[in-house]
Structure 1
């Protein structure tokens, strides 16, 4: 293993070993990253999330204003389904590093840090290292709204180094999250004195299934620039731990609707709220940010295409680009396979992480 690969492996392993699920503080990860940024002007932006958990994002610059910014996030999804230790950071004989967040996206973050600090001092480069990307995008918002360093630097472009197998992604979907709540009266279910909130929620969900079906069949609501062309409309249901012999006092459905820049979300938004009013379900929505999308011939997209040697594509998933696009044009391109993210036994090839370094550096050189 060469020096660059070994350095990336060591940093990725250290980051993976630190639990930074979105529900816990990421400050230990930020504290581990900051010593890697010697020679950079480093700005910490701290905040508390909605649960009061302390969070920190880092903005680091060297070489002055302009140039390119590399962005990645420190938080991970929960460890659902893992049988092995999610935080082992184990490297197998094939040079593959295992652990929660190894691909999404502690490995790509490590590669971006190594690439940035290995550039000549005269080349302007910035790192935007966020958190809460997997949930609210609050870390990216903190940078966009509060970072004085970003305001001074004004980067020319932002490369979000999410795993794309190093293929440039010129646009992706963003989401609206609907939290839909039905209330009941808790009682022993045998007494007939309670009211099960699920009986209120079920007819509402039947209308949500109609929206789901229409999104998959109505061509006017689809975008052929994306695969799949139809928008995601995914629902999870929570009875908040109620036992089967108790009438449910609170039933919650959370729906994530992902749409691309060419899709007007008005139909879905209005249909969800109308169904809530009809069936007595309270609907609250939170919007991630508008879908980022650059044309294929945009200069930043063209530069990424030339460096990567791969044609630009679009992606169905979302990233911090939905927020960071307010700072500068964004392209998503990083090492690793998004297909292994958010799954048990997530892993990343150290060789692929290392192969990203010269690509990142070539791109930074073009923007110097």
Structure 2
């Protein structure tokens, strides 16, 4: 027996949250494809729950349509229809809480899914990465953990809070392309009027990535660059060709030297993270598959993870100087900044009390690294990063339940007059 993927607006129960998650999983919103359909469903659901919506869209580098969504539910009696300066002023004085998620997922080409004996699927043959499978204690499906389960939990938490109890706004933001360079969040920051309103309100901001409900107050950023060498193709038995690898080899020697420096130089490390280094990573390809043609191009890439008080600007400058000397082209790759909130701040301690968990740093990056205009950002969500991006991705139903409870308490703490009593 399986749950229907047709889900009405959440009513706050765990059964309703599972139904919502099944529906969200049913959208094959891999980053290479469009996320417009899932964002449209989220928009319709939020509208039914009393939210005002702003939509922003763009086409990615391959011309695929992408969608972002900002939604706000103001306290009862506050105008909900047209954004206005007056409403922005009201939001600023009652900052509320904002929740951020992404609706894209990673590919699932080698999907394995739930163990066969545990299937509760009406049509086992149809089961796949976008057909959720519910067992006694888990929900399987691409995005179940990263991060559609988190969104289902927040929608259920909102359903538990009567708008008539609200004294501050509740914001929900859905972005595209988090998995492929945070393009959706970057577009949102630059082009969405609703996000400008949110920034003026500066609410407590929750990025709902899977943390097992631990409170993440800091994460690394990510940056990088590519290096390109151009030669000339020719028969390898002649002198006509120019091997592009010959100029790349000394460049690779430099990249290796810089990599070793990040491991040895204490000034480029931060012990608050594990590992405490920039995680300098690089690779190279000459795109050749035969031995009798001189390679005409050779391309290298570098990726590294910056920390709040450690960046790699001096290393990149050295790499640029070496590339110029060798006649190579170096092109930066934009990623995102680190996220940092003081671990001794009130928001971190309050979320620790609400969630009953510990605070920590992580080494992966989130959309939160793009949202630097917001002053109180943390990452907290149900599920474990160990289950994200796997061939049998799943979220524990217990984690989903804990997520609903934690988000509800947070909403009541920051958006209603009744602060939650916490143990």
2:324, 2:128 → 1: CA distance? 42
1:101, 1:238 → 2: CA distance? 31
Q: Is the 8 A contact 2:175 2:184 kept in 1?
A: yes
* Higher mean C-alpha deviation, range 273-282 or range 325-334: 273-282
Q: Where does residue 333 of structure 2 map in the other structure?
A: 286
Q: Is the 8 A contact 2:140 2:395 kept in 1?
A: yes
- With the length of structure 1 as denominator, give the TM-score of the two structures: 0.91
Aligned residues: 367
1:151 aligns with 2:180: no
1:48, 1:79 → 2: CA distance? 23
Q: Is the 8 A contact 1:79 1:86 kept in 2?
A: no
1:71 aligns with 2:100: yes
Cα drift, residue 348 of structure 1: 1.5
> CA-atom RMSD, angstroms?
2.3
Q: Where does residue 244 of structure 1 map in the other structure?
A: 290
Q: Where does residue 55 of structure 1 map in the other structure?
A: 66
1:83, 1:249 → 2: CA distance? 40
**1:278/1:7 Cα in 2 relative to 1: closer, same or farther (>3 Å)?**
farther
1:180, 1:224 → 2: CA distance? 30
Q: Is the 8 A contact 2:222 2:306 kept in 1?
A: yes
Q: Where does residue 104 of structure 1 map in the other structure?
A: 146
Q: Is the 8 A contact 2:182 2:335 kept in 1?
A: yes
1:44 aligns with 2:55: yes
1:29, 1:271 → 2: CA distance? 44
In structure 2, which of residues 185, 198, 214 is the aligned counterpart of residue 167 of structure 1? 214
2:236, 2:362 → 1: CA distance? 46
Q: Where does residue 117 of structure 2 map in the other structure?
A: none
**1:78/1:206 Cα in 2 relative to 1: closer, same or farther (>3 Å)?**
farther
Q: Is the 8 A contact 2:26 2:132 kept in 1?
A: no
The structure with the largest alpha-carbon Rg is: 2
Equivalent position SS for 1:227:
coil
Cα drift, residue 367 of structure 1: 1.3
Equivalent position SS for 1:259:
coil
**1:19/1:191 Cα in 2 relative to 1: closer, same or farther (>3 Å)?**
farther
**1:341/1:86 Cα in 2 relative to 1: closer, same or farther (>3 Å)?**
farther
1:94, 1:190 → 2: CA distance? 66
Cα drift, residue 192 of structure 1: 5.1
**1:142/1:328 Cα in 2 relative to 1: closer, same or farther (>3 Å)?**
farther
2:161, 2:262 → 1: CA distance? 46
* Higher mean C-alpha deviation, range 9-18 or range 313-322: 9-18
1:1-368 aligned at under 5 Å gives the runs: 4-37=13-46, 38=48, 39-64=50-75, 65=91, 66-79=95-108, 81-82=110-111, 87-121=129-163, 122-123=165-166, 124-153=169-198, 154-191=201-238, 193-240=240-287, 242-245=288-291, 246-368=293-415
1:247, 1:255 → 2: CA distance? 24
Equivalent position SS for 2:180:
coil
**1:55/1:184 Cα in 2 relative to 1: closer, same or farther (>3 Å)?**
same
* Higher mean C-alpha deviation, range 153-162 or range 9-18: 9-18
**1:247/1:356 Cα in 2 relative to 1: closer, same or farther (>3 Å)?**
same
- With the length of structure 2 as denominator, give the TM-score of the two structures: 0.80
Question: Which sections of structure 2, spanning at least 5 residues, go unmatched?
Answer: 4-10, 76-90, 114-126, 416-423
Q: Is the 8 A contact 2:12 2:158 kept in 1?
A: no
Equivalent position SS for 2:275:
coil
